[in-house]
Amino acid sequence: MMVKSLAGSLTAALVAVVWYWSMGTRITYGDASQVRSLIEEAFLTSWEDYEAYGWGSDEYSPLKRTHKNMGASDAPLGWIIVDSLDTMMMMYNSSGSSRLLAGILKAQTWIDNELNYDLDSEVSLFETTIRMLGGLLSAHHWSSQMRVGNEQMYLDKAIDLADRLSMAFLQSKSGIPYSSINLHTGEAVKNHVDGGASSTAEFTTLQLEFKYLSYLTGNKSYWELSEQVYKPLYSLNGLVGPQWDGLAPIYTYPDTGEFRGNHIRFGSRGDSFYEYLLKQYLLTHEKLYYDLYRASIEGMKKHLLGTSKPNGLVYIGEKQFGLRSELDPKMDHLVCFMGGLLAMGATEGLPIKKARKQPFWDTTRESDWKLAQDLTYTCYQMYAQIPTKLSPEIVVFNKEDAVGRSNWISESGDFYVKPADRHNLQRPETVESLMFLYHLTGDNKYRQWGWEIFQGFQQHSLKPRMRRPGKVYTSLKDCIQSPTQPLDNLESFWLAETLKYLHLLFQDDVDLTKIVFNTEAHAFPVLDTRSLRDMKLKTGWSP
Which of 40, 127, 332, 368 is the catalytic position?
Answer: 127
Reading phi first (left if > 0) and then psi (alpha if -120 to 50, else beta), residue 23 is in: left
Pairwise CA distance, residues 503 & 89, whole Å = 12
Q: How far apart are CA 145 and CA 286, in angstroms?
A: 25
Cross-strand bridge partners of residue 188: 181
Q: Is the peptide bond before 543 cis (omega within 30 degrees of 0)?
A: no
4 SS3 class = helix
Q: Which of 227, 271, 286, 318 is catalytic?
A: 271
Calculate Rg over the CA atoms of the chain: 22
Evaluate whether 218 touches 527 at the Cβ level (below 8 Å).
no
Catalytic residue check, 429 = yes
- Residue 72 phi, psi dihedral angles, 5° rounding: -65, -25
Rounded to whole angstroms, how far apart are CA atoms 58 and 73? 13
Select which of 86, 286, 393, 497 is catalytic. 393
Strand partners, 264: 319
Active site residue 202: no
519 annotated to bind ligand: yes
Residue 455 CA to residue 344 CA, distance in Å, equals: 27
Q: Are 258 and 236 in contact (CB under 8 A)?
A: yes
d(CA 311, CA 385): 12
User: Buried b / exposed e across 276-304, counting CB within 10 Å, b at 16+?
Assistant: bbbbbbbbbebebbbebbbbbbbbbeebb
Active site residue 271: yes
520 assigned to active site: no
The CA distance from 34 to 22, in Å, is 10
Q: Which residues are annotated as a binding site for Ca(2+)?
A: 519
Residue positions annotated with a catalytic role: 127, 271, 393, 429
